[in-house]
Amino acid sequence: MPKYSKGTPGRDIRVGARLSLASCCILMAMQGAALAEGGPRIGVLEENDSLYSDSDRHYTQGLRLSALGGELAPQGWGNRPFDMIGNALPIFPSGASAQSRRYSVFLGQSLFTPENKARKPPDPADRPYAGWLYLGVSLLQENDGTMLENLELAVGAVGPGALGKLTQNDFHQFLGASPSRGWGQEIHNEPGLVLTYERLWRIGLLGDRGNGVEVIPQLGATLGNVFTYGSAGALLRWGKNLQADYGGGRIRPALSGTDYFNASHLDGKLGYSLFAGAQGRAIGRNIFLDGSAFHRDPSVEKKDFVVDVQAGFSLFWSDDIQMTFSAIRRTREYQGQPRPDVFGTASIAFSL
């Protein structure tokens, strides 16, 4: 039988608090260094399985805060990481016409629970409890307004130090809901690192470059001890001023999950889109199903291939403010999962 340890609550809270404080300091420092032309664009994204339904299970909640820097000056020092990586790998070509480079920094927390949260100990055949607290940076480069590259590094902590129990049960107490009783058997503490590279293309189908119908194919790969997978997908969009972005931000794993927004492409201030898309992922590792690599954690047998289908709409006024809403249906992620999961997203982004 697996051996579980509850850990020391005070120590777990201190670990999470220190990570959160360090995350905020690093975010502010990196954002200040990344700014070039224009102020930061702040994003707040919530993903939750109870946004549009009464469900409360599996991937139950995700919160992500981000800050997108202004466009880098062509000869600025902020180009050096792009150029160094581009010299070593076949990405981030320099000298492309109409090239735009930006940094984005982000801080987030994701929570995972079984379906029956009143059971203690949890059902060993159901998804285990887990939390993921992380911060990261994205290097974003757009070439000729038709292709976007995103190289992203996230670091953080999985386990009690991610403060999943504190976040969920305090919120449930505020709502008058019953607490989740199985957090004492969550996945153990483990440092987390995730490196992602993705490339998105803009292909117009009807109308002109920014108004009409377009499709955005996407290919990517993620490597790390938290997630390892390869992905492919596409997003179909109809609307006005589509050229400002490549789809709304999302919490990984997800389709079209970048913070990129370029107001210089706009023709008029009003922009909107209706969108639908799908992404398939070949899964090598998912710590929230596999458990920690260093402990005898609760785990379930994951499925090797998962598909997300999503649809939603976005509305913005210049780079002043943008709101995006969507619903996602995710196929079964582990053997014995009774049904696919459905969750919603709601985000707001605004420039300072």
Query: Mind listing the domains of the chain with CATH numbers?
Result: 9-351 (2.40.128.140)
Query: So what's the pLDDT on residue 26?
Result: 45
Name, in order, each residue with C-beta under 8 angstroms of 213's C-beta and a sequence gap of 6 or more.
Answer: 204, 205, 206, 207, 236, 237, 238
Residues 94-152: tens digit of each pLDDT: 876 678 999 999 999 999 999 998 888 899 999 999 999 999 999 999 998 899 999 99
**How many whole angstroms separate alpha carbon 259 and alpha carbon 247?**
9
Q: What is the mean pLDDT of the chain?
A: 87
Query: So what's the pLDDT on residue 17?
Result: 41
CA distance to 272, 273, 323, per residue, from 268 (Å): 12, 15, 17
Residue 246 near residue 148 (C-beta atoms within 8 A): yes
**Adjacent-strand bridge partners of 37:** 71
**Which of 31, 109, 34 shows the shortest CA–CA distance to 67?**
31
Name, in order, each residue with C-beta under 8 angstroms of 5's C-beta and a sequence gap of 6 or more.
Answer: 188
Residues 71-98: tens digit of each pLDDT: 999 888 999 999 999 999 999 988 766 7
**Ramachandran sector of residue 116 (left: φ over 0; alpha: ψ -120 to 50; beta: rest):** beta
The pTM of this model reads 0.87
Residues 291-317: tens digit of each pLDDT: 998 888 999 999 999 999 999 999 999
Residue 234 near residue 247 (C-beta atoms within 8 A): no
Which pair of tokens denotes residue 313? 């709409």
Residue 211 near residue 244 (C-beta atoms within 8 A): no
Residue 317 near residue 204 (C-beta atoms within 8 A): no
